[in-house]
Structure 1
Amino acid sequence: MKWKYLFAELKDLGWRKSVFRIKYEIARKWLPYTRPVKKNSKLMATISLQEWSTQRVAFFGPDFTCLETKNAYCEMFCDDDKNKIIEYADCAINGQIFCFSKWWGDYGNPIDWHKNPQSGVSWPKDVHYSQIYSHAKECGDIKLVWELNRFPHVYFLVRAYLLSGDEKYAAAFFQQLHDWKEQNPYRAGANWANGQELAIRSLAWIWALYIFRQASCFGEKDFQCLQQLLYLHAEHIYREIHYARYAVHNNHLIGEALGLYAIGSLFPWLPKTKKWRALGKQILQSDCLNQFYADGGYCQSSHTYHRLALHYYIWYCRIAESIGDEISSEVYDLVVQSSDYLLAFMNSTNGHLNNWGCNDGALFCPWTQCGYRDFRPLLSAAKYLTSGKRLFVRGPWEEELFFLFGRESVQASISPPQLSSKSFPAAGLHTLRVDQQNFAIFRCGSVIDRFGQADQLHVDICWRDIPIAVDAGTYSYYQKEDHKYFMGTHSHNTISVDDKNQMYLLRPFKWLYWTKAKLLCYRQRQMCGEHYGYAGVVHERDVRYENNAWEVKDSLKVKKTHKYVLHWLITFFYFTIVEKNANYLKIRLQTTKGNYYLQIESSSDAEFFVQVANANDKQGWLSQFYGHVEKAISIRAITTSNSVTFVSHFTDNEIF
């Protein structure tokens, strides 16, 4: 049976990538010898801080040495927001890090750069990076270490410094930089194991350097330490990027290419910078472009990863514009198409997008007071980059504009978004809007990349900008059973057959036998499609809005008897089961904007289960932030028959 899956995987990869992967895995065993750990790497080709201060390469963003600019920035905040930023920065000095934009991790003081804050266990820091994953069983989720080492707290340290003028925040950053260098010998430990992590960390350091450069506590040793680390990071990415290029080819590749381009462009006196910059630019302007679909969708079938990829490209454009480097028109085109795509799914009240695909907490630039799920900072930046106009009225999302484009950007004219129904056939995601605050999102389209989840015909329902039917999210990549549940069909608002997924999950991020699907109808107030993920079973779903209600009709017609489970995950509200029998369920939800009703009819006798999440059962878990779960309502209708029809109605009309 294993050979069967191996052949299927090789077929998906194609011969070129298959050969590369086999050669890579063989060569990887020798990396501790061919690329050994170096505890005292020395870099001779550097310049002094004084030289850099007089001839540094231009970098995007405002010049905070200008008093008017600094005052304009400070005036963007109310006292509560200023105090919160300073509070979070003070916590970061003491090793308390705001993780994944949601929860606090205690990494110790001084910081332990290898610590898992949930288990308290530290990953070994003397093991070669190629062998580090063998320690996952005793150390836990490696992303909990990487989150700290992306330096998300540097965005609080910089902003607290600008708002308060207190140089302790700059001093803390440079002290942490020296400490990081001491605790992370070159090529040893978890923090050298992933090229994208190196790129994100490097870019955060560069951004901090260009703002903290005015601090009197910033000295020669700090600058030399940073130069050395950036050189080692770029060199490591350069040597390893072929894996992302040929075996992964997703946002990892974009991030790593950006890291090479940024370090190669901004620190041209370092050795090998011409090679880094040239390769980074080549990949960004050629290889990575085909990750974006013609309709604006993204290969990873995830709003979170799409935002990350788009943030990378915005940074690339701003760095290139700042140094006068030429940018392909295709790059600007993908920014326009991607932002239009993401905007189509936005909640008009809070800027949130539906929880679609893997949601691992990635937020490349946590430099605004907007929540993690608010996409308005990114969409504002994309709009200004490509049109010179703002997208939204004044709000906290404009801080991203300020950092990327300077204070003139927040005074630009506004071109407000027009939210409407849109279909994206390549991405396989479609939305129908009754009005700005009432809409449904439908997942229907053949899987054409290995990323994503087993979620064909999943539906989200939003009423008065309140999410009603929702996607469960991600939670954790490390906890295998949890990860399989959140990736799989059972957590989604669709139907599972015989307790199986629509595709076969070979490894945590590797699906085999990609599901085929077809959009049958998309028109005003109706969208309909079917998928063929189960052998011998065709699942057809019709979604329409009529009589002030969303009707979702599921039809499965086959000769053989199967077990069918219709699942709806509902945002937690106090609820009442109004009526329940063998063919019918009706519940009332007490939302903040009035009562809302869900009723389900089954053509054959079914068991109905309404369950709120608990610690022992994943049914009803909702994860909007990585590493964090909250309770929701899981509703299941289970029947065993040959053919069945389910009809679900969502409405605010009690007597529907």
Structure 2
Amino acid sequence: MSKTVMLMNKIKKLLVMPKEEVLFRITERRLEKREYKHHLSGKDQLSDEDFIRKCCGLSSQNNAIHRLFDNFYSGKRDSFFTEGYEKNIRTTVIKKHLNTQDWLLTADQICEGQLCLLGQDVRLAQAGEWHKDPLEACEWPRTFYKQVSKIKPSVTVDIKYVWEMNRHQYLIVLGKAYWISGDEKYAKKVCAIISSWISDNPYHSGVNWTSSLELAVRSISWIWAYFFCRGSQHMDAAFHFIFLKSIYEQGLHMEQHLSYYSSPYNHLIGEAAGLHMIGSLFSQLKLGQAWEKLAWSILENNIDKQFFDDGMCVEQATFYHHFTLGFYLQAALLRKLNNKPVSEKILSGIEKALNVSMYLTQPNGKLPAIGDIDNARSLYFNMEHSWDFRGFLSLGAVLFNRSDFKRQSSGSYEELLWLCDETMLTNFETMDSTYPLETSKALSSSGYYVMRSAWEKDSHYLCFDCGVMAAGLHEDGVPSAAHGHADALSFELSVFGKPILVESGFNTYFGPLEWHRHFREEAAHNTIKMGKSRQAEYCGRLTWKSVIHPKLHYWRQADNLETVCGEIVYDKEMSHRREILSVSSKFWVLLDQLKSAGRNEQAIAYFHFDASVNIEVDREKKQIIASAEGAGLLIQYFEDYEVEARRGVEGMGPEAGWQAAGYGHKNPTWVLSFVIPLTKKTVLFPLLLLPWKKNKLIFSSKKETRLDTKRNEFYPATFSFDEQNYMVSFRENDSPSVLCDGVPV
């Protein structure tokens, strides 16, 4: 992108910026200039004496470091989660439910310097290496933090990797290993890593001060590790002093650089959660109480801005939904542990967000990969990347006495065991376990519509996306960053519990541009690309403008038929209307109506399959058969479209067929595309989606389906399925009609 275009985009944003945001940004720039001046002169480096006297309110005489240490252990402060109940009792419960040997094996690997970060095996940073990129032989400049982004050490380097190394979430794994085993080597490693980092990262120097969210996540990691290792011989007064001083400096930076406007969603909430934890647990800091109060007010005043009324995160990204939700859960539970009030506003927001998590979860226990992802987790107890967030539901079960949350948590215990006290754990174990009240669910504010056959592991599941791309985006030419994708009218589908049609996920923020764009644009989703029209215009990494949001026509539920219909209108002539019917929770009927005023362009319909799925294309029968471990999906189409099936191969580009399981990681998978000529004003593109099991297709066609070109309707598709006879008709500007054994469904 040229400098001229970038300048014009900035001017467009400035012209629509609220006055209070302009004033805030001006004040922020003045602060940064003052910080830079102090950094050059060395005035921003806090001496030990000033920290003790000015920040902790103690005299620097008479062994102040030991008095500070004693005050922490004997003075008044909030309890932490590890102190929620007697350690021996908790240990017994943990060993009953969790495999603690895995903790020790992973912790041993960390002690040996072996890590897996963002899907990459890397070496743990050593002393003096905390500014180095763990993948490339380059180092980020050790300059004033605001200048770092201007001096990128190489063209291909991705800042996410050095940030991930410096988040220090793997310290929690070491802390758990010490807590469960008592082996001092784990606590020693925790102290060595933190001490090394402090020595290598002076206040406001380098890449690890560039993002307040990174400081927040690191602070939370340190606090968990500190309390896990509390009582270790290595957690002495000298270590406590440098630890507390660095925690103070990071808290001070967060307070002064909260992302009120630059990143007002998960960044702001993560920063507030980190500041809240520092303030509540380290009361010997003179700013501690003020930080706790400020942070909690941010969390409370912004929860309505983080979630739609139905509970879905406004960023329209399932991983970030849980990133934000985890910060809220952690802060609320910490207050409850210390008998501090948590408002109904906060609790209601958390419960609704958990409700969304429950309904979006697929039968295999994982979330659909909607929107961006950077593998970020706010509740971090193991290093394995996963789309399984059912542990959040176990917390929700005890917070809200929700027996349906308990059932759908499916025995996910770890979050519960660390974040809840003994009473809450007892309540969970004695609570009933019941099915959710609704099988299917309309999340109408965020625009997700879930159809499922039942709440069992082998149930069918479909999630249809008819919501806005994300909050904060503009329909005009004003650019704005967001984690939402161009995925309107896309859907995910599982049959007999197996994911078949899936979202492609997301691969990289700062890596190769073609991969970054691909996973965010239409071709990476189960939707249709309409000629030259686009759901949004790309205008830089993470940034969209001229966004076109879909609209819902209807969501209907009857005894044997569920229907959802949405449309995206590009202009007066071009539109895409998609309707999906779930027939008796057995199979699905899909009808796309493509309007183009006969522009003689092409539409391309994309279908992305899970990496575990294999497909066969039978062009003679007009069928695609997808199979996955003894179950699968038959896709019946009706016209002689140009059909292409592609699967990614190492060295091929993003269009070949890839599924991004997590940040920086992708697997080859099948992608199917139908090329649909837009040669008349309205083109119908109907499909039957028929599940099968145990290598037996329970489908047979009775009569060839034909298109009446004059009336623009298909004669009935007549077929047998699951020992019943069906007839499905498709016609322009109407819903598909379905007869079962001659009776309307």
TM-score normalized by the length of structure 1:
0.91
Give 1:561's aligned residue: 600
Q: Which residue of 1 aligns with 2:21?
A: 17
Structure 2 residue 206 is the aligned partner of structure 1 residue 189: yes
Corresponding letter in the other structure for 1:556: L
Query: In 1, distance between residues paired with 2:269 and 2:409?
Result: 31
Amino acid at match of 2:467: G
Matched, 1:474 2:511: no
Q: Is the 8 A contact 1:293 1:427 kept in 2?
A: yes
1:302-349 residue CA offsets vs partner (Å, 9 max, x unmatched): 111111111111111122223333222100000111111111111234
Establish whether residue 272 from structure 1 lines up as the match of residue 287 from structure 2.
yes
462, 467, 473: which one aligns with 1:440 = 462
Q: Deviations over 1:329-383 (max 9, x none)?
A: 100000111111111111234x211111112101122215986211111121123
Deviations 1:566-610 (A, max 9, x none): 1010113464534226xx8422223113343223344xx632110
User: Structure 1 residues 247, 313: CA separation in 2 closer, same or farther (over 3 Å shift)?
Assistant: same
Distance 1:348 1:371, change over 3 A: farther
The aligned counterpart of 2:643 is 608
Alignment of structure 1 residues 350-429 onto 2, 5 Å: 351-367=365-381, 372-387=386-401, 391-392=406-407, 397-412=412-427, 413-418=431-436, 420-429=439-448
Q: What CA RMSD, in Å, does the superposition of the two structures yield over aligned residues?
A: 2.7
Letter in 1 for 2:217: I
Structure 1 position 48, deviation (Å): 2.2
Within a 5 Å distance, the mapping from 1:141-290 to structure 2 comes to 141-241=158-258, 244-290=259-305
The structure number with the bigger radius of gyration is: 2
- 1:108/1:17 Cα in 2 relative to 1: closer, same or farther (>3 Å)? closer
Q: Which residue of 1 aligns with 2:531?
A: 498
Q: Distance in 2 between matches of 1:224 and 1:75?
A: 34
* 1:571-610 pair list within 5 angstroms: 571-573=610-612, 575-580=614-619, 585-602=622-639, 606-610=641-645
Map of 1:644-655 to 2, 5 A cutoff? 644-651=683-690, 652=692, 653-655=698-700
Q: Which residue of 2 aligns with 1:551?
A: 589
Decide whether aligned partners of structure 1 residues 211 and 248 sit closer, same or farther in structure 2, where only a CA change above 3 A counts: same
What is the aligned partner in structure 2 of residue 570 from structure 1?
Answer: 609
Residue matched to 1:291? 306
**Is there any run of 5+ residues in structure 1 with no aligned partner, and where?**
none
Partner residue, 1:127: 143
The AA in structure 2 aligned to 1:363 is: R
Alpha-carbon displacement from aligned partner over 1:72-127 (angstroms, at most 9, x marks no partner): 2442356xx32321111112123322324x44322344583223223243322x12
- 1:378-415 alpha-carbon deviations (Å, 9 max, x no partner): 12112322338671489662121111113443332144
CA change 1:573–1:181 in 2 (3 A) is closer
The CA distance in 1 between the partners of 2:71 and 2:30, in whole Å, is: 45
What is the rounded CA distance, in whole Å, between the counterparts of 2:112 and 2:328 in structure 1? Answer: 33
Q: Which has the higher contact order (CA 8 A, sep 6+)?
A: 1
| Aligned counterparts of 2:627 and 2:633: Cα–Cα separation in 1 | 7
2:61 aligned partner: none
Q: How far apart are the structure 2 equivalents of 1:388 and 1:639?
A: 48
Output the amino acid matched with 2:36: P
SS in 2 for 1:154: helix
Q: Secondary structure at the match of 1:528?
A: strand
- Structure 1 residues 457-466 or 28-37, which shifts more? 28-37
CA contact (8 A) 1:381 1:400 kept: yes
The amino acid across from 2:591 in the alignment is K
Q: Secondary structure at the match of 1:258?
A: helix
After superposition, the Cα gap between the structure-2 partners of 1:26 and 1:503, relative to the gap in structure 1 and judged at 3 Å, is farther
Contact 2:447–2:466 (CA<8 Å) still a contact in 1? Answer: yes
> Quick one: structure 1 residues 344 and 576, their matched pair in 2 at CA, closer, same or farther if it must change by over 3 Å?
closer
User: Is residue 638 of structure 2 the alignment partner of residue 621 of structure 1?
Assistant: no
Corresponding residue number in structure 1 for 2:96 = 76
Match of 2:349 in 1: 334
From 471, 490, 514, the equivalent of 1:458 is 490
Q: Deviations over 1:417-469 (max 9, x none)?
A: 42621111211111111223211111102444333111110111111121111
Q: Does 1:85 align with 2:103?
A: yes
How far apart, in 1, do the equivalents of 2:350 and 2:613 lie? 41
When residues 175 and 331 of structure 1 are mapped into structure 2, their CA distance, relative to the original with a 3 A threshold, is same
Is the 2:502–2:610 contact (alpha carbons within 8 Å) kept by the matching residues of 1? yes
Go from structure 1 to structure 2 and tell me whether the alpha carbon gap of 1:307 and 1:65 turns closer, same or farther (over 3 Å shift). closer
Relative to structure 1, the CA distance from residue 278 to residue 61 in structure 2 (aligned partners, 3 Å threshold; closer, same or farther) is closer
Give percent identity, aligned residues only: 23
Local SS of the residue matching 1:344: helix
Distance, in Å, in 1 between the alignment partners of 2:661 and 2:132 is: 24
1:107 aligned to 2:124? yes
SS of structure 2 residue aligned to 1:299: coil
CA distance in 2, matches of 1:585, 1:430: 29
Separation in structure 2 between the aligned mates of residue 534 and residue 208 of structure 1, nearest angstrom: 55
Alignment CA distance shift 1:576-1:397 (3 Å): closer
* 1:162-202 residue CA offsets vs partner (Å, 9 max, x unmatched): 23221111111011110000111111111111111111111
Contact 1:129 1:192 (C-alpha < 8 Å) held by counterparts:
yes
Aligned to 1:518: 551
How many correspondences in the alignment? 645
CA positional deviation for 1:279: 1.7
Aligned partners of 1:344 and 1:431 also within 8 Å: yes
- Contact 1:368 1:400 survives alignment (8 Å): no
Distance verdict in 2 for CA 1:198–1:416, change over 3 Å: farther
The residue matched to 2:510 in structure 1 has which SS?
coil
CA contact (8 A) 1:41 1:186 kept: no
Taking a change above 3 Å as real, the CA distance of residues 274 and 155 of structure 1, as seen in their structure-2 partners, is closer
Query: Does 2:654 align with 1:641?
Result: no
Aligned with residue 96 of structure 1, among 114, 119, 124: 114
Q: For residues 683 and 46 of structure 2, what CA distance do their matches in structure 1 show?
A: 68
Q: Which amino acid letter does the alignment assign opposite residue 58 of structure 1? A: D
User: 2:515 & 2:168 partners in 1: Cα distance?
Assistant: 27
CA contact (8 A) 2:303 2:349 kept: no
Deviations 1:44-83 (A, max 9, x none): 24452222111252324243894532432442356xx323
CA distance in 1, matches of 2:281, 2:564: 49
CA 1:283–1:533: 2 relative to 1, 3 Å: farther
TM-score (norm 2): 0.81
| Residue aligning to 1:449 | 472
1:567–1:7 Cα change, 3 Å: farther
Specify the code of the residue in structure 1 equivalent to 2:79.
Answer: F
- Seen in structure 2, the aligned counterparts of structure 1 residues 160 and 535 have a Cα distance that, compared at 3 Å, is farther
Structure 2 gap segments, 5+ residues each = 57-66, 474-481, 693-697, 702-745
Cα distance in 2, alignment partners of residues 12 and 514 from structure 1 = 16
Contact 1:61 1:405 in 2 (8 A): yes
1:309-320 matches, cutoff 5 A: 309-320=324-335
